[in-house]
A and B are shown apart, each in its own frame.
Chain A
Amino acid sequence: MSSAAGPAAGRYLDLYSRRTGEAGFLRALRQQAIGRFEAAGFPTSRDEEWRQTNLGPLLRAEPEPAARHTLRAGEAAPFLYPDCHRMIFVNGRYAAEASSPPERVTAVALADLPAGGENADAIAEHLGATACGLASCSADARVHAFAALNTALFGDGAAIVIPEGVVVTRPIQVLWLSVPTLGRGDAGDGAASRLEVSFPRLLVVAGENSQATVLETHAADPAAGGYFVCPAAEFVCRAGAVLRHTRLQVDAADAFHLGFQHARIERAAVFDSSSLSFGGGLVRNDTVALLDGEGADCSLDGLYVVGGSRFVDNHMRVEHRQPRTTSHQLYKGVLDDRARSVFNGRIYVHQAAQKTDAKQTNRNLLLSRSALANSNPQLEIFADDVRCTHGSTIGRLDEDALFYLRVRGIPREEAHGMLVYAFARELVEKASFGPLREDLEGRLRSSLNGGRGGGRSR
């Protein structure tokens, strides 16, 4: 992992060379992406953006494409919500028989793309346009190695195009289920360990004045062994569109999850996204949002509940490119045991983006002596008529509040749980879709109760 084409990068380049050819724009896109990846290689701890993320264990493993798996009855059920349109992917491949994509909307599996159909042009236009491996920031356009890998190697994915003016009332759930087939023993220690890799890809284009809700779930059986999921998602909100997005991450405790998300928000459009991380051993989410039209608005919120010796890293960059754009970020973290978290948020205000209103908040609750929280909220501002604030706190539970509850006869453990729940609940309550909110509440509760050691050691 030393230089551009180190041994780890070489293994992934091998994966690419084993791919069979395909035609059309995808081929060109993939070639461009793998070229960028090859030139840049994997980031190291000397790379400022990756300083605190230890990729060592991931890069030592031998990657192999996740095996095909036919969904067994009830396998996906714990992660599905009622009253939703569904697209289910298992190990990165579309499970058509279990899915029920919405009508009036083009929702196709990318593997079927050459067959075309309506809106194929829109998909070709937008896929990879923003996230084909570039972190697409005008100031420092660096290659995001994992986004580039995804573009080069994704086998399948979902493309959802919501036509102009269409309001999709029921949420569209996209479930990415990982079912590792290698036994636990295979994914153990040593340089020769093998790791199953999948590269889920999502594209959502919300046409002018359309409205939709997309629920993404990255899940696995909690008892599953190690695997590596490397998702990339692109969101395009055309003028006046309202897109709500929730990303629930409940990967297995030994999983590596390194995801990249990119959103472009045009004039007067709204992108409201929440990211909730409950699972995974090493989790990193990189999010880039471009406010690319006057009056565009975006919210990027997140919650991470981390125990064991797990690691969660959220990096995001919000670029205000046009005047009168607003952005809000609220990230909260609960850390227990030997868990570590990183929050790195950057608000970048271009000179043209006068009247920007941006707010960024990160709050961390440390429950254990061995937990470690890193928080780097950053502002880069090149316009003068703006309001930008950020705040960050790290601390433990308020002893006075705990005392207040205990005076009223509530046992310490219970009082403790109540306060932690109250701390995190704000982000769960944000979900307006009932079944999702209930599910999140349940997950929050169980991760807090049984959560002491929710993850296994890595």
Chain B
Amino acid sequence: MATATDTIEALAQRDYEYGFVTDVEQDTAPPGLSEEIIAFISAKKNEPQWLLDWRLHAYRGWLKMVEPQWANVRYEPIDYQSICYYAAPKSDDDRPRSLDEIDPEILATYEKLGIPLREQEVLAGVAVDAVFDSVSVATTFREKLAELGVIFCSFSEAVQDHPELVRKYLGTVVPRRDNFFAALNSAVFSDGSFVYIPKGVRCPMELSTYFRINAMNTGQFERTLIIADEGSHVSYLEGCTAPMRDENQLHAAVVELVAHEDAQIKYSTVQNWYPGDKQGVGGIYNFVTKRGLCAGRRSKISWTQVETGSAVTWKYPSCILKGDDSVGEFYSVAVSNNRQQADTGTKMIHIGKRTSSTIVSKGISAGEGQNTYRGSVRILRSAEDARNFSQCDSMLIGDRCGAHTFPYIDVANPSAQMEHEASTSKIGEDQVFYCNQRGIETEDAVSMIVNGFCKEVFRELPMEFAVEAQKLLEVSLEGSVG
């Protein structure tokens, strides 16, 4: 049985497969943060005055805030003045008309990542809005979506083309001064995706954005805003990988979702940023604010995430269940290997009547990884007959890792039904032995058991994502049976 541990450890030793650097000329702002830099970013993107004011208001608020310390993660202090807040590929002015015009090196990068744009365009029926650093370089299928009135574009385009929508919804779910990192993002956000689904439209394809962090020392500050109008339906995919780096990179994104009456938004994430090497050097700091507002009756927001990357993750996709009968869901698999630290979970705030929420969180710790589930379920007095079910399971692989669970449950309405369950376990030797007996290699057995452990979450992912996620999990944990 010694092999079991050895194999797992061997698996855990694997290097980051997607570490490479693409040399593309950058148009970069000098490092540091000031009102001038914000004005520079805003001017660079040709933004209207109100948006510049909006950014400056956020910045002035941010100056008065202190970096939160409560998360169960440890990292070197971040010097916010040494970060570059703007970088864009040089071909900003003359955007490519088709894929052929795109820098072949960028295309090659995507090739290496196994995301051939052209193939996806044809085969998968997925419209890809690929964000290379901070500016979108390719958007596909837009015409097809435009026929239905669906707006799917980069955030800066939305500011130019649909200022009324952006102005109406920006910051309504995550206020500019919501928290330290959200305020920072609001001040300096570079680009991101904007989606608007008109009334009654069921988006015919999965919308997908591949984020990529590329330039040295450039923090990425995406801003995503998705609005599903009455009776509409959309599924959005977000996935990312990043090249190998020695310096920690800050990533502070904000995602806002608004679901009106009878609308549904499904937001899926596969996050595979560079986690740092085995000593914990390098790696991405991922401090994300994601929040969805179920504004209308019978609306639904579903978050699914597979978190395998980043050195430090600090992320709580949340749902505000304001409309009566609205539904919030959170499905998560978080893996922390080597010295990765993840403090992740969700917040479900029940305001409307008969609102219900489901939380399924699976944490896997290996090596010296630390995995924390931190969730909050609040049932306010107005939330008559609200329902919540939470399940938080942890799996430990190796005796130097940690798994922690901090749920906060506040119920102020007696008609609410609230259940929380959590368990922590390891891969049983008897389970592995059972598989070995039947001729299944230890490594495959572990993979099977881990995949079984995460099945409830993978089931929620769109097909092509589920496959990728499963593969990622295998890579992240290869050789980890205890």
A associates with B = yes
Contact A384 B414, beta carbon cutoff 8 Å: no
Q: Could you tell me how many residues of chain A have their Cβ less than 8 Å away from some Cβ of chain B? A: 35
When distances are taken between beta carbons in the complex, the residues of chain A under 8 Å from B412 are 371-372
When distances are taken between beta carbons in the complex, the residues of chain B under 8 Å from A368 are 414
Contact B416 A394, beta carbon cutoff 8 Å: yes
Instruction: Report A48 CB to chain B, min CB distance, Å.
Output: 7
Contact B399 A384, beta carbon cutoff 8 Å: yes
Interface assignment of A380: CB less than 8 Å from any CB of chain B:
yes
Interface assignment of A99: CB less than 8 Å from any CB of chain B:
no
Q: When chains A and B are docked, how far (Å) is the Cα of A205 from the Cα of B216?
A: 62
Main SS of the interface on chain A? strand
Contact A389 B422, beta carbon cutoff 8 Å: yes
Interface assignment of B403: CB less than 8 Å from any CB of chain A:
yes
Q: When chains A and B are docked, how far (Å) is the Cα of A378 from the Cα of B403?
A: 11
Q: When chains A and B are docked, how far (Å) is the Cα of A383 from the Cα of B68?
A: 28
When distances are taken between beta carbons in the complex, the residues of chain B under 8 Å from A392 are 407, 409, 418-420
Contact B426 A394, beta carbon cutoff 8 Å: no
Interface assignment of B423: CB less than 8 Å from any CB of chain A:
yes
Q: Known: A379-B403, A381-B404, A388-B423. Contact between A394 and B409, CB under 8 A?
A: yes
Q: Which residue, B404, B407, B414, B425, has most C-beta atoms of chain A within 10 A? A: B414
Contact B420 A377, beta carbon cutoff 8 Å: yes
Q: Mark B402-439, 1 if CB is under 8 A from A, else 0.
A: 11111111111111111111111110000000000000
Q: Known: A351-B399, A381-B394. Contact between A394 and B422, CB under 8 A?
A: no
Interface assignment of B401: CB less than 8 Å from any CB of chain A:
yes
Contact B404 A379, beta carbon cutoff 8 Å: yes
- Cross-chain contact of B482 among A367, A382, A384 (Cβ < 8 A): A384
Contact B416 A379, beta carbon cutoff 8 Å: no
Instruction: Report A387 CB to chain B, min CB distance, Å.
Output: 6
When distances are taken between beta carbons in the complex, the residues of chain B under 8 Å from A375 are 407, 409, 411, 420
When distances are taken between beta carbons in the complex, the residues of chain B under 8 Å from A371 are 412, 414
Q: Known: A369-B381, A384-B401. Contact between A379 and B422, CB under 8 A?
A: yes
Contact B414 A391, beta carbon cutoff 8 Å: no
Q: Known: A378-B407, A379-B422. Contact between A385 and B399, CB under 8 A?
A: yes
When distances are taken between beta carbons in the complex, the residues of chain B under 8 Å from A393 are 418-420
Contact A381 B422, beta carbon cutoff 8 Å: no
Instruction: Report A265 CB to chain B, min CB distance, Å.
Output: 21
Interface assignment of B288: CB less than 8 Å from any CB of chain A:
no
Interface assignment of A330: CB less than 8 Å from any CB of chain B:
no
Q: When chains A and B are docked, how far (Å) is the Cα of A329 from the Cα of B409?
A: 18
Contact B422 A391, beta carbon cutoff 8 Å: yes
Contact B411 A386, beta carbon cutoff 8 Å: no
Contact A369 B414, beta carbon cutoff 8 Å: yes
Q: Mark A115-145, 1 if CB is under 8 A from B, else 0.
A: 0000000000000000000000000000000
Q: Mark B364-403, 1 if CB is under 8 A from A, else 0.
A: 0000000000000001010000000000001011111111
Instruction: Report B86 CB to chain A, min CB distance, Å.
Output: 36
Contact B416 A383, beta carbon cutoff 8 Å: no
- Cross-chain contact of A376 among B379, B399, B407, B417 (Cβ < 8 A): B407
Q: Mark A63-91, 1 if CB is under 8 A from B, else 0.
A: 00000000000000000000000000000
Q: When chains A and B are docked, how far (Å) is the Cα of A379 from the Cα of B403?
A: 8
Interface assignment of A396: CB less than 8 Å from any CB of chain B:
yes
User: Chain B contact residues (Cβ within 8 angstroms of A): what range?
Assistant: 35 or more
Interface assignment of B50: CB less than 8 Å from any CB of chain A:
no
Q: When chains A and B are docked, how far (Å) is the Cα of A375 from the Cα of B409?
A: 5
Q: When chains A and B are docked, how far (Å) is the Cα of A74 from the Cα of B165?
A: 77
- Measured CB to CB, the nearest residue on chain A to B422 is A390
- Cross-chain contact of A384 among B397, B404, B415 (Cβ < 8 A): B397
When distances are taken between beta carbons in the complex, the residues of chain B under 8 Å from A389 are 421-424
Interface assignment of B75: CB less than 8 Å from any CB of chain A:
no
- Measured CB to CB, the nearest residue on chain B to A384 is B396
Q: When chains A and B are docked, how far (Å) is the Cα of A223 from the Cα of B416?
A: 35
Contact B406 A395, beta carbon cutoff 8 Å: no
Q: Known: A393-B419, A395-B416. Contact between A354 and B399, CB under 8 A?
A: yes
- Measured CB to CB, the nearest residue on chain B to A381 is B403
Q: When chains A and B are docked, how far (Å) is the Cα of A377 from the Cα of B402?
A: 17
When distances are taken between beta carbons in the complex, the residues of chain B under 8 Å from A381 are 394, 396, 402-404, 424
Q: When chains A and B are docked, how far (Å) is the Cα of A48 from the Cα of B68?
A: 13
Q: When chains A and B are docked, how far (Å) is the Cα of A382 from the Cα of B426?
A: 12
Q: When chains A and B are docked, how far (Å) is the Cα of A368 from the Cα of B381?
A: 11
When distances are taken between beta carbons in the complex, the residues of chain B under 8 Å from A387 are 423-425
Interface assignment of A316: CB less than 8 Å from any CB of chain B:
no
Contact B406 A376, beta carbon cutoff 8 Å: yes
- Cross-chain contact of B405 among A378, A385, A386 (Cβ < 8 A): A378
Contact B421 A367, beta carbon cutoff 8 Å: no
Interface assignment of A100: CB less than 8 Å from any CB of chain B:
no
Q: Known: A393-B418, A393-B419. Contact between A376 and B411, CB under 8 A?
A: no
When distances are taken between beta carbons in the complex, the residues of chain A under 8 Å from B405 are 377-379, 390
- Measured CB to CB, the nearest residue on chain A to B370 is A382
Contact B417 A382, beta carbon cutoff 8 Å: no
When distances are taken between beta carbons in the complex, the residues of chain A under 8 Å from B406 are 376, 378
- Measured CB to CB, the nearest residue on chain A to B406 is A378
Q: Which residue, A366, A371, A379, has most C-beta atoms of chain B within 10 A? A: A379
When distances are taken between beta carbons in the complex, the residues of chain B under 8 Å from A377 are 405, 407, 420, 422
Q: When chains A and B are docked, how far (Å) is the Cα of A184 from the Cα of B96?
A: 82
Interface assignment of A2: CB less than 8 Å from any CB of chain B:
no
- Cross-chain contact of B409 among A366, A370, A376 (Cβ < 8 A): A376
Interface assignment of A446: CB less than 8 Å from any CB of chain B:
no
Interface assignment of A374: CB less than 8 Å from any CB of chain B:
yes
- Measured CB to CB, the nearest residue on chain A to B378 is A374
Q: Mark A407-425, 1 if CB is under 8 A from B, else 0.
A: 0000000000000000000
Q: When chains A and B are docked, how far (Å) is the Cα of A381 from the Cα of B399?
A: 10
Instruction: Report B1 CB to chain A, min CB distance, Å.
Output: 13
When distances are taken between beta carbons in the complex, the residues of chain A under 8 Å from B394 are 379, 381
Instruction: Report A452 CB to chain B, min CB distance, Å.
Output: 14
Q: When chains A and B are docked, how far (Å) is the Cα of A377 from the Cα of B375?
A: 11
Instruction: Report A434 CB to chain B, min CB distance, Å.
Output: 35
Q: When chains A and B are docked, how far (Å) is the Cα of A391 from the Cα of B417?
A: 14
- Measured CB to CB, the nearest residue on chain A to B399 is A384
Instruction: Report B359 CB to chain A, min CB distance, Å.
Output: 12
Instruction: Report A350 CB to chain B, min CB distance, Å.
Output: 10
When distances are taken between beta carbons in the complex, the residues of chain B under 8 Å from A48 are 70
- Cross-chain contact of B424 among A367, A372, A388 (Cβ < 8 A): A388
Contact B399 A395, beta carbon cutoff 8 Å: no
When distances are taken between beta carbons in the complex, the residues of chain B under 8 Å from A382 are 401-402
Interface assignment of A195: CB less than 8 Å from any CB of chain B:
no
When distances are taken between beta carbons in the complex, the residues of chain A under 8 Å from B418 are 392-395
Q: When chains A and B are docked, how far (Å) is the Cα of A208 from the Cα of B482?
A: 37
Q: Known: A377-B407, A392-B407. Contact between A369 and B413, CB under 8 A?
A: yes
Contact A364 B404, beta carbon cutoff 8 Å: no
Contact B420 A384, beta carbon cutoff 8 Å: no
When distances are taken between beta carbons in the complex, the residues of chain B under 8 Å from A354 are 399
Q: When chains A and B are docked, how far (Å) is the Cα of A372 from the Cα of B70?
A: 25
When distances are taken between beta carbons in the complex, the residues of chain A under 8 Å from B402 are 380-382
Q: Known: A385-B399, A390-B422. Contact between A396 and B415, CB under 8 A?
A: yes
Contact A364 B411, beta carbon cutoff 8 Å: yes
Interface assignment of A179: CB less than 8 Å from any CB of chain B:
no
- Measured CB to CB, the nearest residue on chain B to A391 is B421
When distances are taken between beta carbons in the complex, the residues of chain B under 8 Å from A305 are none
Interface assignment of A175: CB less than 8 Å from any CB of chain B:
no
Interface assignment of A373: CB less than 8 Å from any CB of chain B:
yes
Contact B414 A376, beta carbon cutoff 8 Å: no
Contact A384 B426, beta carbon cutoff 8 Å: yes
Q: When chains A and B are docked, how far (Å) is the Cα of A376 from the Cα of B399?
A: 26
Contact A385 B426, beta carbon cutoff 8 Å: yes
When distances are taken between beta carbons in the complex, the residues of chain B under 8 Å from A378 are 404-407
Q: When chains A and B are docked, how far (Å) is the Cα of A389 from the Cα of B381?
A: 29
When distances are taken between beta carbons in the complex, the residues of chain A under 8 Å from B410 are 372-374
Question: Can you name 10 extra interface pairs (CB under 8 A) apart from A384-B398, A386-B396?
Answer: A366-B414, A373-B410, A379-B424, A381-B424, A382-B401, A384-B401, A388-B423, A390-B405, A390-B422, A395-B417
Between-chain CB contacts (< 8 Å), 7 pairs: A354-B399, A364-B411, A366-B414, A372-B411, A379-B422, A394-B409, A394-B418
Nearest first, the 5 closest Cβ-Cβ pairs linking A and B are A366-B414, A384-B396, A394-B411, A379-B405, A392-B420
